[in-house]
Copies of this chain bind each other. A is one copy, B any other.
């Protein structure tokens, strides 16, 4: 057994120095399991994300028991740029997974966060990201209770990737699932579409059109709680992220073995999203959203659901946009403002890489 000896003799020593968050950068030692990693965790992650469960300080968080059925969901976040109008990859990583948990009608309880960092990432950027996570998590009332950090060499990642996983509790009697859409059901959306995707596009260097548009990134579990309180028999909930409304409706139609008829004129769209899409040749119905949901419920409960949605700050522009049809081909038909019909297919290729 030889004496401890690094094969990277030039790697910087970190022992007992405080992390230089203002000027420092992530280096490989921050992922090495030694003192530098412990310091990174202490000075950035624990400092900002602090809560009772994280403070257990083990490789796992212990909680519960939980009385009801549970859901679990995971989501990787690789958005580029990492900082954007309306948030950053940290707030997005919290909102995105809370929303996936909430789309089962569940109350999100806890989050786990796995970071993959590129060597050279400014520690100040990492701190901004972690602060945004902390704020989003606090505002949502869903603590980040455990985490992990890996560091890869420069050029082997792109700044920061964050995979968050959430668990939540499903209230008794709630059965919300993608295969429950039934012919005759109403289809609702909680607000204007395309805001997130167009906000991100507008900030990418190679598409320099100016807009004040903000990402709609938000945690929707409060809206969902109000919705199931008003209409416990909601059949489906899903957030139209990558692939937009088109992909989400096609997924639900395929899963339930139904078709849908959507009135194009009823779909809420911001004028600046409409304008940007016309300029770029994009369909806003393919664009990612991060703070909107699609709901499907029995037709006779649609007005009650709409009222509940509009009463919530994140659902003020909600609308009934169409209905579920009987269609063995599982097609989504769009009724145009002029009375014609076209198919709303999901995209075959890639439209907007790294939008979330």
Q: List residues of A whose CB falls within 8 A of some B CB.
A: 1-8, 11-15, 27-29, 31-38, 56-78, 100-101, 103-104, 106, 110, 112-116, 145-153, 155-158, 161, 163, 165, 167-168, 170, 177-179, 238-239, 241-244, 246-247, 251, 255, 264, 269, 274, 277-278, 280-286, 288, 345-354, 356
Contacts and interface: CB of A to CB of B under 8 A. Distances in A.
A146 B63 CA distance: 21
B152 A354 contact: yes
Contact of A348 (B35, B147, B350): B35
Contacts of A104: 58, 60, 62
A22 to B, nearest CB: 21
A293 to B, nearest CB: 11
Nearest to A39: B348
Given A2-B283, A8-B350, A163-B163, 18 more contacts: A4-B345, A6-B347, A7-B282, A33-B242, A33-B346, A34-B347, A59-B73, A59-B103, A60-B168, A65-B68, A65-B69, A72-B146, A74-B112, A75-B114, A76-B114, A78-B152, A157-B157, A163-B165
A334 to B, nearest CB: 9
A71 B75 contact: no
